[in-house]
Each structure stands twice: as C-alpha cells, then as structure tokens.
Amino acid sequence: MELDEHSAVTDTLKEVAMELDEHSAVTDTLKEAAMELVEHSAVTDTLKEAAMELDEHSAVTDTLKELAMELVEHSAVTDTLKEADETRKCCLMLGGVLGERTVQEALPALGNYKEQIQKITDADTTASGKGKRTK
C-alpha cells in the first residue's frame, strides 16, 4: 500500500512540476511582452518628440514666410513713397499703431523696420545653415 501512496505522491509532484513549468513559460512570455511594451513606449515617446519639433519648425517657417511677405510689402510701399512729394501726408502702421506722418518722416521708419525684419530672416538663414534655429 505504501508503494501506491508513494507512486500517487510522485505522480502529483510530477503534475505540479509540469504546472510550474507552464507557469514559468507564461511568466517568461509576459516578461518578454512587458519588455516589448517598454521598447514601444520609448519609440512612441521619440515619435511624439519628433512631431513636436516638426510643429515648432512649421511655426518658425510660417513666421518667416509672414516676415518675407512684410519685406515685399515694405519694399513696395517704400518704392511708391520715394516717388511721392516729401511733404505729402501718409498713414504709417508699425507694430499695430497707425500714425500720420509726412513721406519724409515715414521713409526712414519704413527702412528701419525693413532692416530689422531682414536681420531676423538673415539670422535664421545663418542659423539653419548651421543646423540651429533662432527663436
């Protein structure tokens, strides 16, 4: 009878050992899945950072396009005012403020503003050539 009991205990221990092996395999699979999830999370974070940098780059590009348009507009206004009588009154809007001036007073202000815009666009062009952007 003892032999049958030992045999039954041995069989039970074998079954428990097999279940432990199965649990160990499941645990290993879960560990691998967790590691892959961590790797995917890192990739996702990198992609999010790249998307934010792209958005920032797009915003800078849009601002530079606006400044380029302002340069064109200021050049057109300056060319027109150069042909006008210096004592003629004109309206000048700089920085969102509209003022009345003579052509003689307005031309230097336009030229100064145009130079400031040109410095900004030149600085960005120089910085982007070196792989950096100015803010």
User: Structural domains in the chain?
Assistant: 2-129 (1.10.287)
Residue that wins the pLDDT comparison between 5 and 80:
80
- Give backbone dihedrals phi and psi of 70, rounded to 5 degrees, phi first: -65, -40
Residue whose entry in the numeric block shows the structure tokens 């070196």: 130
Q: SS3 for 86?
A: coil
Q: What is the mean pLDDT of the chain?
A: 87
Instruction: Kindly state the percentage of the chain with pLDDT values over 70.
Output: 93
Q: Please say if the pLDDT value at position 124 is more than 90.
A: no
Q: SS3 for 99?
A: strand
Contact yes or no for 94/113 (Cβ under 8 A): yes
- Give backbone dihedrals phi and psi of 90, rounded to 5 degrees, phi first: -145, 160
> What single-letter amino acid sits at 38?
V
Question: Could you tell me the pTM of the whole model?
Answer: 0.58
pLDDT in tens, 79-107: 999 999 999 999 988 778 899 999 999 99
